[in-house]
Structure 1
């Protein structure tokens, strides 16, 4: 057996040697060609390399391989089942960047189940509710309608994506309204539009309301909608399932950057009950006290005390570096039990059971315990 192995090994080496000799001869012949021919060959090989590189990188000038800093999050499995169809249709309509918003809309409208009209888009083409009998048509029209709002905004010099998303519920005329009045979307503006424009156009001229109670409306302290006025919380509902930004800091004040420079040193650390310094680890309010203290701002020790020592502001006014408070995560339902640093429309930086780091305050758990956003006055 050993002799056979040695023979096979010798045979393999001989074959490899022959290959090397043939390749060497080929190179010699190529080098003996005229310079022009060599140049042509090299240029052809270079073009092949560039084409291969583009395929390898999944290149698409339309953003087909990259959703950038916007992603969908917290979606149900029943919504996620439609991801491939949504991506394919968005690419066909050349708006792949809308995929996270489309997925979030499906989650808000139907969670991807219960009706073929999963985007509830049939009314935008004059059909009644649940007017489509297959999901493909619903997705196609839903993306087309969302795209039409985006293109309308672009033509009017308006680029607020949340205004476009709210327009999916109100109608694209909302985008025109914002652009023509120099407004950006906010829940306050949407509420006014619902009461003054949408509701009267459908017969509600007296501002009649009906009860609308969920985590979002409770967070704003207004648990009602206007009859025939659409849902002025629509963009906020969708926002729960879209994460904007990465681990990079948004633009903020110098104070915010100083606070985060300290807080980020502990990213990934475990949550420690009653912890208030690096040697012991941090709980939520301990991290706030330490990070703000190193930036020159004195905060009291507990979340309850920090809540009392700061000034409440509306969600619309929130800026990076404000404090976001939650209640009832333990103790009584109204007990201020958790605090984090407000980062942006979806994220906070805090210490909780998942550890120290970025978390989505717009997910269903945190929204169900949301209390308020406060500003540190210094």
Structure 2
């Protein structure tokens, strides 16, 4: 039988667990903000198009990445951050991933954000592995985080490619199979009868937080997994200073040092300089460019090619320039300097 003292001890233990978790997250956030201070470039930069993901959400990045690493899936950190933004509304809460229901518990039963990360990541890994096994695309996998794994089976029978039309169809079927079990959310959740099982626009909302920065751009000639691995690798160095001759994280990077390092991480060997990389890659036109292709520039007189960046979609590249390492718009400054486009093969 529990005594009053035992109950008070259990209560105190739970509260201390929450406090310790909160303090951990607070200091992670402070460290990330300090690291980010002073990082600027000549061009507009920003990992997610500034304002897309909230500071509260970004503070969890290292914790989410560490949890994903346990499953060998850290390349999907950006997707999980976007899911977190959608689930939390950009603010802090205890069940930040709204993961209680994946355990069969009532909403918000989880009261520890660190545990919510563990459960949310595990739920994502589960639908990801099932989705890949059944030939379902990443958009369908993300929608399954909201709908549950039954959507994987449904989508697999429809060809494996997610669309809002198919999400609406699935939602409607679930309503018909379980009449009276689900209620519509009304205007506040943008739900409309009969599509009131889950949120059929969930995938669209999730990707809206990260796609503008090219984070989950699709159609790379490298393959999606390789491109995401490359992309996540260069993101680690956003805000680092430009270092002439730099070719490793220990020294920071110059433009071609960054590209050669990035492609080395996915099994490609690029020469060391921008000129050599231009000569070693396949020429393509601007219309043929896909995320993961290289863009070459002439910014000085000593070589025909003196600068290189990685195309990430949406008229942006990721590069190391005199202002530092980050995203650059292909704008009136960069466009006149373009020499050509190259594909690594």
Band the TM-score falls in, shorter-chain normalisation: 0.3 to 0.5
Normalization by structure 2: what TM-score?
A: 0.47
Pair member with larger Rg: 1
Q: Which has the higher contact order (CA 8 A, sep 6+)?
A: 2
Normalization by structure 1: what TM-score?
A: 0.43
